[in-house]
Amino acid sequence: MTKSNPHLVVKSNRLINAKLNGLTLSQIKLIEVLIAQLDKSQGGFHRQRVYLRDFAESVGTKNKNEYQRARFITKSMMKHVIEIYDDKEGLTQVNLFYKIHYPKDKPYIEAIFHPDLLPFLLQLKEQFTSYDIRNTLPLSSLYAIRIYQFLKQYLPIGERRFSVDELKEILGVEQKYKQYYDFKKNVLLIAQKELNEHCDLTFQFKEIKKGRRVEFVKFIIKPKNKFVNASRLSSEEEATIVDELIAMGIAKKQATEYASRFDEQFLREAITYAKERYEKGHVKNLGAYLNTLIENEVKVEAPWSKEQEQEANDKKKQEAALKKQRLMEEKLIATLEQEYQEYIESQIKQLVDNASNRDWEDFYNYVSKNPMIKGRVIKDGKMDREDDNTIFWFRIFISDRLQHNDEKDFIKWAMSKKGYQLRKEGENYKVVARQNQLF
């Protein structure tokens, strides 16, 4: 498989079914972008480049500071482990990346996949799944992306069955959505809606019960051409509108042609407008007038009452106000995230600057047992504390002593240092309150 399609993602089925152990939506999308860049015929992983502006567009972030946002997303990925299971080989725990680099004063990042991922991403000849990345990038739910991948794998079969417990475990939501009702509402139904709107397949699902408890979910998978005109009439809708056109004086053959050529909204607006003009005495031959409107593709709209127009204007104002509030909140969250990263960096710098000889001895012992790092840091049995490579790995080693949880600690920091009470909703943070002022 050569890289003839820049949008093509190809993965081993084992990787598709892996436990990702808490990767975020943005992190999953970054991985998708990098996989799509791979030359599937190459023998190993090479340095890949992702421009920060493209990165921001790909993951769907509105944060204007792409550099800080990228660092926030990639930092934990360097230590992240996914779990891949195989019936014959058992469980394999794999790091995602060997290295992620931010060249100084450059508008891009560079990443190299971990060599242990080679059998799951390159030179695949069997048991793999491929799809166009443009199916997954528009999705706003990480569960929708995973379910799309699961179902794409089984599209030729047309169905796939999971036990509810198994599916929750793979998606990492067994604790988050313990009740099936919550799992269905927040995972299955949202994925169904997003796949139907954005992807080249859709699905229905059947709940298989034991007693009163839903034990299994069976997905019925159907391919879907994303580029089919969504306004195309069904056979029943077409028959109905053909009858309406005939009743207004359009010949049956002509009415049938119109129903196949034009979308329903256009035809119904033309019918409504022609009827109104006829009833007010402005038109003598209803059929001929309607025929003229349709043939000339005149864009008309059914008249609204003043009350309806006022209601629509009020709705637009409310939507504009909500949009402004959301943008202000997103800007605030982005600023808080940036300041939090600067705070963490200052904590790490303080640890490094105040490191004792015992800290360096512990680091030396750690490196000695880690062959991936040892050759970079220890040369001829000695470690140069001033070497840039040594300092880089020492920072990672010493930063582990902070033992911080990015999500929980960020929420605590925002409250204690900035006075903002935050709540995590899906992949985003929401401002709940600031001291005594409710938002």
212-239 tens-digit pLDDT: 899 999 999 988 755 333 344 556 567 6
Q: Is pLDDT at 71 greater than 50 in this prediction?
A: yes
Q: Is pLDDT at 138 greater than 80 in this prediction?
A: yes
Decide: 207 and 217 in contact? Cβ < 8 Å.
Answer: yes
What's the rounded mean pLDDT across residues 384-406?
78
Instruction: Report the sign of the C-alpha dihedral through residues 215, 221, 227, 229, in that order.
Output: negative
pLDDT for the residue numbered 429: 85
d(CA 6, CA 143): 24
pLDDT for the residue numbered 304: 41
pLDDT for the residue numbered 216: 96
Predicted confidence band of residue 58 (pLDDT cuts 50, 70, 90): low
pLDDT for the residue numbered 273: 82
Q: Is pLDDT at 436 greater than 50 in this prediction?
A: yes
pTM listed for this prediction: 0.52
Q: Please, what is the end-to-end C-alpha distance for the chain in angstroms?
A: 53
pLDDT for the residue numbered 257: 86
Predicted confidence band of residue 165 (pLDDT cuts 50, 70, 90): very high
pLDDT for the residue numbered 228: 37
Decide: 378 and 363 in contact? Cβ < 8 Å.
Answer: no
d(CA 201, CA 144): 12
Predicted confidence band of residue 191 (pLDDT cuts 50, 70, 90): very high
Q: Which residue has the tokens 């890289």?
A: 3
d(CA 22, CA 169): 11
pLDDT for the residue numbered 402: 65
What's the rounded mean pLDDT across residues 153-165?
90
pLDDT for the residue numbered 438: 44
State pLDDT tens for residues 280-297: 788 889 889 998 888 887
pLDDT for the residue numbered 61: 57
What's the rounded mean pLDDT across residues 68-78?
81
Look at strands 97-101 and 201-210 and give their pairing.
unpaired
Q: Is pLDDT at 109 greater than 50 in this prediction?
A: yes
pLDDT for the residue numbered 64: 52
What's the rounded mean pLDDT across residues 166-176?
94
| Higher pLDDT pick, 298 / 208 | 208
Predicted confidence band of residue 151 (pLDDT cuts 50, 70, 90): very high
pLDDT for the residue numbered 245: 86
| Higher pLDDT pick, 435 / 46 | 46
Percent of the chain's residues with pLDDT above 90: 26
| Higher pLDDT pick, 120 / 61 | 120
State pLDDT tens for residues 261-285: 887 778 877 887 887 788 778 888 9
| Higher pLDDT pick, 399 / 439 | 399
Q: 10 Å Cβ neighbour count for 291?
A: 21
Predicted confidence band of residue 380 (pLDDT cuts 50, 70, 90): confident
Q: Is pLDDT at 320 greater than 80 in this prediction?
A: yes
Q: Which amino acid is at 267?
A: L
Q: Is pLDDT at 30 greater than 70 in this prediction?
A: yes
